Homo-oligomer: A and B are copies of this chain.
Amino acid sequence: MTSERQKSIGIDIGGTHMVFGLVDEQGRLQWKQKVKTDLSQGFTSMLAVIEAQVDACLTETGWSREQVRTIGIGMPGRVDADRGICLHAANLNLRNIPVAAEVARVTGMSCYINNDVRMYNYGEAMHGAGKGKQYVLGVTIGTGMAGAMIVKGEPYGGSDNRAGEIGHIPLEGVGTRCNCGMTGCLETIVSATGLARSARNVVKEGVDTVLATYHPDPASLTAADVSRAYDEGDAIAIGIMHHAGARLGQVLASLIPMLSPDVIIIGGGVALAEERLLHPVREVLSRLVSRAFLDGMDLTTALHNDDAGVIGAAAWATRCEKGER
């Protein structure tokens, strides 16, 4: 059986797991597999896993190498998409690896790579919450926080492919040291890590909050606990979430007049907080930003969340293969 439609394999590479998916041209995920990231032999062991999973995908779905043809990869760190090179991925301990060429060599298929946050938001821009929009600003909030702009279907790169570091925009009056070496970065407040830290801090200070009852050791508190306490009506948890939303809103208020996005998509694990987080963002935006920008602009959570990275990487490969960039 053959198909007129282009299918592509998307791979979302993370520090602990890699997700593989077969995606059709409408962005529908037809097969998915999650495996551990194997870095025991550096890129060599990672490449072996990719080769094996691509084989498994084709075997299990019954599609041939000629029918699928393309692989798209989203990976952390700085990526030179034009040359297919991973410039530097600190958490994978990779530097200057010709990933696209190597994957193409072992799979016999065309391979295109890009940054994982860009691919996540490319997936949302093409087939998710940003579908049909020209100017998409994606903000992905998980352990850390990063952003991506997809402009008319093209991920915005920036000098040396460094753009998108919304999590490292500095906040006045915040003294928390960030992993990046600077102080007061947005992600020290708005991230799973930041929310959990805020929760830990209030419990350690002996504040009266239901958060104190969740774990014997406050170090175990998570961002999900903050959402849970929020839903129990805990004023402290509500305050933590509102503070994070307000700070996110303040930074978005600085970006919107300059970028004028059609849509802002909040994704990643922390996006599961939904309106608990977005309500204070909206409140700050309506106070600080002119209606000229807000009236036509959507602020929403990601549609595909966990799958957006795989869908985006596959869609990116399809686009690159067609020579549309």
Contact = CB atoms under 8 A, between A and B. Distances in A.
B260 A165 contact: yes
Contact of A254 (B135, B158, B254, B262): B254
Contacts of A162: 260, 292-293
A134 interface: yes
Interface string A167-207: 11110100000001110000000000000000000000000
B180 A260 contact: no
A94 interface: no
Interface residues of A, number: 41
Contacts of A147: 258
Interface string A249-263: 011011101111110
A288 B170 CA distance: 6
A8 B258 CA distance: 30
Nearest to A257: B165
Given A135-B158, A156-B151, A258 B169 contact: yes
Contact of A258 (B166, B257, B296): B166
A182 B147 CA distance: 27
A295 to B, nearest CB: 10
What is the oligomeric copy number? 2
Interface string A284-319: 000011101100110000000000000000000000
A164 interface: yes
A135 B164 CA distance: 13
A253 B164 contact: no
A158 B255 contact: no
A267 to B, nearest CB: 16
B255 A258 contact: yes
A12 B111 CA distance: 46
Nearest to A178: B290
Nearest to A287: B170
Contacts of A213: none
Given A162-B292, A292-B162, A297-B159, A169 B257 contact: yes
A162 B260 CA distance: 6
Interface in A123-173: 134-135, 147, 149, 151, 156-160, 162-170, 172
7 interchain residue pairs of minimum CB distance: A158-B260, A165-B257, A163-B260, A254-B254, A162-B260, A170-B288, A159-B262
Interface of A: 134-135, 147, 149, 151, 156-160, 162-170, 172, 180-182, 250-251, 253-255, 257-262, 288-290, 292-293, 296-297
